[in-house]
Amino acid sequence: MFKLDTIISLAKRKGFVFQSSEIYGGLNGCWDFGPLGVELLRNYKEAWWKEMTYRDNIEGLDASILMHPRTWEASGHTKQFSDPMIDNKTSKSRHRADNLIEEFIEKLKNKKKEALALEIETELIKVQKNEDYYNIIMNYEIPDPISGTKDWTEVRNFNLMFKTFVGPIEDESSIVFLRPETAQGIFVNFKNVMESARQKVPFGIAQIGKAFRNEINTKNFLFRTREFEQMEMQYFIKPGNEVEQFEYWKNERMRWYENLGFKKEKLKFKKHEKLAHYADNAADIEFEFPFGFGEIEGIHSRTDFDLKAHQEFSGKKMEYVDTVNQERFVPYVIETSGGVSRGVMALLCNCYDEEKLVDENGKEDTRVVMRFTNALAPIKAAVFPLVNKDGMPELATLIYKDLQKSFKVEYDTSGAIGRRYRRQDEVGTPFCITIDGESVSENTVTVRHRDSMKQDRLSVENLKAYLFEHLNK
Ligand code: GAP
C-alpha cells in the first residue's frame, strides 16, 4: 500500500490535480483538475456514460444545478440533510460528531483495544439523536485530536446545502440552493423523459453533474470535498421488484469497477446499518484507500419516496399507467450513485505502482508506473524522435500529427530515450513510439508497451491500425 502523500504529490507534479486557487492559499474542500486530470476525468465519465446509457432502456439527462426551492422541501433535504456538528472550546475546531467517534474507534483498533472499540461501535449503531452522540463522546472521554482536551459543546445539526439568491434582491423569497445531489433533477423530470423518449417502466435515467455540500470537515484529498461531481442513475420499477433489482444493480456496478481495472481485492460491498430517510435498503461499494476502506458508490432502494413527495408538493401526478395490465402506480426506484472525483482518486490509488528493475549490469532501479487501462489513460501514445537530426524529427512530426487526429498523443524530444519512457510510465501512457535511424530508411517505428516494456517494430503504414486495435482491447 502506497502512502496517500505519494499519490497527491505525483498528481500535482504531473498535472492531474491542483489545489483550488492555490496562489491565494487554496480554498478548503475544492480542487482543480489539470491537463492530465481532466483527460482522466473525461475518460472515466465516458466509460460510465457508455455503460449506463448505451442500452435500450436508460436515457440521459443534464438538469440544472439550481432548482426550484420546493424541490428540497419535497426531497427532505431542507429538514434532514444535515450532519451532527460538535465544536471543541479550546482549539475552536469543528468536527462531525459521528466521524470523531469513528476515528476514535479506528485508533482503538490500531492499539489492539478491540473490545472497547466494539463496545463503542455498538453504541454508535444505536444512535437516534444528537444527544446520543454527545453522550458517547463524554462517556468514553473522546479527546479533540487537535488540543487533546474533552472540552466539547453540545452536538447540533448543520445543514449541508449551500444557499444563494436568484435575482438582485437578497431576501427569503429569492433563496435557492446549489444541489447537494444530482438525483432530484432526475426525479422532477421523470415524466418528461418517459414521455419524450417513449419509455415504459422499467426504465432508467442517467446523469453526470456537479453537486455541492458544505461539509463540516473536508479530508483526504478528493475523498470528501465541498464541490464534486456525481454520476447517478435512477431506475424506475414496478413496486414488488425492488429486492431483485437492488441485487441486480449492485452486481452490475461492482462488475463495472472490476472491468475498469480496479483490483478485486480492493473492492467490497458494505451493507448500510442505518438508512437515509428515503431508503429501505442500501449498500456501498467500498475501495481500499491508503487510509482504509471508503465508499465510492452507493446503491439505494429509494421506494416511491421521492416521486410521491414531488407529487404531493407539486400537485402533479407522478403515476405510471400500464395500459397492457390496466394498472396505475407510482414507480419504485433503485438508485446507483457514484462520485466522479472520489472514483478518480480511487483510480489513482489503484493504478499507482512502483516496480523494482535490475539492468544487465545488476544495477537496481525503481520505475513509477500508473497502470491505467487503455480506455482510461489520459495520453494514449507518445512519439519520440531518437535524436534531433538525420530526418528523425521530420518523420516523427508527421506521425505525431497524423495520430493526433484520432488520439490524445504527446511529442517529446528532450532527454535520453529511457527518461522519456519513464516520464510516460508515470502518467500511464500505454504506448511509446520511437523513430530511429531505421525508421527513416525503412519507414518503420518501434512501439514500446508500458507494462511489459517489450517493443514491436512495425511499418509506419500499419501503426494507426495497430494502435486502434490495442487501444480498443
Ligand atoms: N443521491 C444519493 C447520494 O447522493 P451519497 O451516498 O450521499 O448518495 C453518492 O453520495 C456518492 O457521491 C458517494 O458514494 C461519493 O462517491 C460521492 N460523494 C458524496 N459526498 C461527497 C463529497 N463530499 N466529496 C466527494 N464525493 C462525494
416-468 pLDDT, tens digit per residue, is 999 999 999 999 999 999 999 999 999 999 999 999 999 999 999 999 999 99
| Cβ 295 under 6 angstroms from ligand 1 | yes
| Cβ 310 under 6 angstroms from ligand 1 | no
Can you name the residues that pair with 210 across neighbouring β-strands?
229
- Is residue 202 domain-shared with residue 236, that is, in the same domain? yes
- Is residue 216 domain-shared with residue 172, that is, in the same domain? yes
Task: Name the least confident of 38-42, 216-220, 367-371.
Answer: 216-220
More confident call, 218 vs 41: 41
Residue 274, pLDDT score: 82
Residue 278, pLDDT score: 84
Contact in structure between 187 and 63 (CB atoms under 8 Å) = no
User: Is position 362 within any domain?
Assistant: no
- Is residue 195 domain-shared with residue 257, that is, in the same domain? yes
pTM higher than 0.85: yes
Ligand 1 centroid to Cα of residue 394, in Å, is 49
Tell which one of 205, 230, 293 to mutate to probe ligand 1, the residue whose CB is within 8 A of the most ligand atoms. Answer: 230
The residue to which cell 539492468 is assigned: 359
If phi over 0 gives left and psi between -120 and 50 gives alpha, with beta otherwise, what is residue 351?
alpha
- Is residue 383 domain-shared with residue 463, that is, in the same domain? yes
Decide if pLDDT at 246 tops 80.
Answer: yes
86-124 pLDDT, tens digit per residue, is 999 999 999 999 999 999 999 999 999 999 999 999 999
Ligand 1 centroid to Cα of residue 161, in Å, is 13
Number of folded domains that form the chain = 3
| Cβ 136 under 6 angstroms from ligand 1 | no
Contact in structure between 425 and 397 (CB atoms under 8 Å) = no
Instruction: Show the beta-strand stretches assigned E in 145-223.
Output: 156-159, 163-165, 175-177, 203-212
Ligand 1 closest atom vs CA 232: 1
- The residue contributing the CA closest to ligand 1 atom 25 is 224
More confident call, 428 vs 81: 428
180-212 pLDDT, tens digit per residue, is 999 999 999 999 999 999 999 999 999 999 999
Overall average pLDDT of the 325-332 stretch? 96
Decide if pLDDT at 471 tops 80.
Answer: yes
| Cβ 298 under 6 angstroms from ligand 1 | yes
Q: Determine whether 156 is exposed, middle or buried from the number of CB atoms within 10 Å of its CB (0-12, 13-18, 19+).
A: middle
Decide if pLDDT at 172 tops 90.
Answer: no
Can you name the residues that pair with 164 across neighbouring β-strands?
176
| Cβ 183 under 6 angstroms from ligand 1 | yes
| Cβ 318 under 6 angstroms from ligand 1 | no
pLDDT class for 360, splitting at 50, 70, 90? confident
Residue 473, pLDDT score: 66
| Cβ 227 under 6 angstroms from ligand 1 | no
Ligand 1 centroid to Cα of residue 86, in Å, is 22
Overall average pLDDT of the 382-393 stretch? 95
- In the chain, pLDDT over 70 holds for what percent of residues? 100
Kindly report the CATH number assigned to the domain that includes residue 262: 3.30.930.10
In degrees and rounded to multiples of 5, residue 70 shows phi and psi of -65, -25
Choose one of 348, 366, 399: the last residue of a domain. Answer: 348
- The residue contributing the CA closest to ligand 1 atom 9 is 337
| Cβ 305 under 6 angstroms from ligand 1 | no
| Cβ 37 under 6 angstroms from ligand 1 | no
**Other Cβ atoms within 10 Å of 22 Cβ, number:** 12
Kindly report the CATH number assigned to the domain that includes residue 431: 3.40.50.800
Ligand 1 centroid to Cα of residue 168, in Å, is 32
- The residue contributing the CA closest to ligand 1 atom 15 is 339
The per-type count for the chain, helices as H runs and strands as E runs, is 16, 23
Quote the Cα angle for 323-327-329, to 5°.
115
CA-to-CA distance for 272 and 283, rounded, in angstroms?
A: 5
User: Is position 75 within any domain?
Assistant: no
3-state DSSP assignment of residue 203 = strand
Residue 346, pLDDT score: 98
Choose one of 136, 159, 182: the last residue of a domain. Answer: 159
Tell which one of 72, 210, 334, 337 to mutate to probe ligand 1, the residue whose CB is within 8 A of the most ligand atoms. Answer: 337
DSSP at 66: B
User: Is position 363 within any domain?
Assistant: no
User: Is position 373 within any domain?
Assistant: no
pLDDT class for 173, splitting at 50, 70, 90? confident
| Cβ 185 under 6 angstroms from ligand 1 | no
398-411 pLDDT, tens digit per residue, is 999 999 999 999 99
- Nearest-10 crossing angle of helices 340-351, 4-13: 100
Choose one of 131, 159, 187: the last residue of a domain. Answer: 159
User: Is position 193 within any domain?
Assistant: yes
- Which set of grid coordinates corresponds to residue 314? 407539486
- Is residue 143 domain-shared with residue 226, that is, in the same domain? no
- Is residue 93 domain-shared with residue 155, that is, in the same domain? yes
Q: Report CA torsion sign: 205, 206, 207, 212.
A: positive
Range of the domain at 311: 4-64+162-348
- Is residue 343 domain-shared with residue 225, that is, in the same domain? yes
Whether a cis peptide bond, with omega within 30° of 0, leads into 202 is yes
Ligand 1 closest atom vs CA 284: 14
- Relative to beta strand 327-329, strand 281-289 is unpaired
- Is residue 50 domain-shared with residue 117, that is, in the same domain? no
Overall average pLDDT of the 161-186 stretch? 95
| Three-state secondary structure readout of the chain | CCCHHHHHHHHHHCCCEEECCHHHCCCCCCEEECHHHHHHHHHHHHHHHHHHHCCCCEEEECCCCECCCHHHHHHCHHHHCEEEEEEECCCCCEEEHHHHHHHHHHHHHHCCCHHHHHHHHHHHHCCCCHHHHHHHHHHCCCCCCCCCCCCECCCEEEECCCEEECCCCCCHHHEEEECCCCHHHHHHCHHHHHHHCCCCCCEEEEEEEEEECCCCCCECCCCECCEEEEEEEEEEECCCCHHHHHHHHHHHHHHHHHHCCCCHHHEEEEECCCCCCCCCEEEEEEEEECCEEEEEEEEEEEECHHHHHHHHHHCCCCCEEECCCCEEECCEEEEEEEEHHHHHHHHHHHHEEEEEEECCCCCEEEEEEECCCCCCCCCCEEEEECCCCCCHHHHHHHHHHHHHCCCCEEECCCCCHHHHHHHHHHHCCCEEEEECHHHHHHCEEEEEECCCCCEEEEEHHHHHHHHHHHHCC
Ligand 1 centroid to Cα of residue 225, in Å, is 10
| Cβ 225 under 6 angstroms from ligand 1 | yes
CA-to-CA distance for 410 and 421, rounded, in angstroms?
A: 12
135-152 burial code (b ≥16 CB/10 A, e <16): ebbeebebebeeeeeeeb
User: Is position 70 within any domain?
Assistant: no
Ligand 1 closest atom vs CA 226: 23
Ligand 1 centroid to Cα of residue 411, in Å, is 38
- Is residue 221 domain-shared with residue 315, that is, in the same domain? yes
- Is residue 170 domain-shared with residue 208, that is, in the same domain? yes
User: Is position 153 within any domain?
Assistant: yes
| Cβ 224 under 6 angstroms from ligand 1 | yes
| Cβ 229 under 6 angstroms from ligand 1 | no
User: Is position 22 within any domain?
Assistant: yes
Overall average pLDDT of the 327-338 stretch? 98
- Is residue 386 domain-shared with residue 457, that is, in the same domain? yes
Mean pLDDT computed over every residue of the chain: 96
